[in-house]
């Protein structure tokens, strides 16, 4: 019997306290059923990307310098079939980053979570990870 937990890389844009708070809520909601690593976008290593089965991205501004290295990496890496989901303060920003990451072949869950007062991140993240 295989008891391996799904490895989730939860990536938050640097300098976005509201997104970091939501990411903390998500991490608490899924940490027992999944292995979750929470990182700032500027600190993510290629080893962490390759080790993960699933990705959650918290986006403030898609053109932020924090995403520069991940944008470059996701243009030249094959992550086909791995699941990803996005949460953001503005859906247009998550759409831009989603587009920038499309060459990696991620399977993206819909809809993105719009981070606003009253949004239930713990419910959303469980839905986004259904099947993992």
Tell me the C-alpha distance between 51 and 68, whole Å.
20
Tell me the C-alpha distance between 117 and 89, whole Å.
10
Residue range 54-102, pLDDT digits in tens: 999 999 999 999 999 999 999 999 999 999 999 999 999 999 999 999 9
CB 65 within 8 A of CB 56: no
Is the pLDDT score of 31 beyond 90? Answer: no
* Integer Rg of the chain from CA: 13
Tokens 């990705």 identify what position?
55
> What pLDDT score was predicted for residue 58?
98
Tell me the C-alpha distance between 4 and 125, whole Å.
19
pTM for the full predicted model? 0.94
Name the percent of the chain lying above pLDDT 70.
95
> What pLDDT score was predicted for residue 118?
67
Continuous segment of H or E residues that includes residue 63: none
CB 124 within 8 A of CB 130: no
Question: Domain coordinates of the chain in residue numbers?
Answer: 7-128
Confidence of residue 2 (pLDDT cuts 50, 70, 90): low
> What pLDDT score was predicted for residue 3?
62
Continuous segment of H or E residues that includes residue 12: strand 7-12
Question: What's the mean pLDDT in 124-132?
Answer: 85
Domain spanning 7-128 has what CATH number? 3.40.50.360
């Amino acid at each position: 019997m295989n008891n391996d937990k799904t490895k989730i890389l939860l990536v938050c844009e640097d300098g976005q306290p509201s997104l970091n708070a939501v990411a903390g809520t998500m991490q608490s909601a899924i940490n027992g059923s999944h292995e979750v690593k929470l990182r700032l976008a500027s600190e993510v290593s290629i080893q962490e990307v390759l080790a993960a089965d699933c990705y959650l991205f918290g986006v403030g501004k898609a053109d932020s310098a924090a995403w520069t290295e991940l944008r470059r990496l996701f243009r030249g890496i094959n992550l086909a079939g791995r699941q990803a989901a996005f949460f953001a303060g503005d859906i247009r920003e998550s759409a831009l980053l989603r587009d920038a990451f499309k060459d990696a072949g991620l399977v993206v869950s819909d809809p993105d979570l719009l981070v606003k007062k009253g949004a239930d991140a713990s419910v959303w993240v469980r839905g986004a990870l259904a099947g993992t």
